[in-house]
Amino acid sequence: MMDWTIIFFFSFLAICVLLIVITLASLPKLGDERKNFIKMKAQSYAFTIVIGLLLIEIVEVAYLTFWTDGSYEGMDPFTFLVAISVVYLISLLVSKKKYGG
């Protein structure tokens, strides 16, 4: 039997992907330049968050490796994917509202 957390994360990821697709599909109503600008803004915000999270992970690995006896178990890629999709969805919606008119 599947764990409920896995089911929750898969359904949350599916909802995020669906909302991202719907939002991106509604952008062609805008002009090409505004559509590209909105997508670029949302992607840059999501990329900034990805870089920030990876830098935090690097610091965590360095701390656990050099200053404690703890072992590093790594970042859960599925949780990371869900978090980034949520960040992209939110930044896409905010950029669409701000620049889409």
Domain residues for the domain of 88 are 4-99
pLDDT for 51: 93
The phi and psi torsions of 17 (rounded to 5 degrees) equal -65, -40
Q: How many domains does one find in the chain?
A: 1
Give residue-wise pLDDT tens across range 26-84: 777 767 788 888 889 999 999 999 999 889 988 888 888 788 877 777 777 878 888 88
Alpha helices in the chain (DSSP H): 4-26, 32-66, 77-99
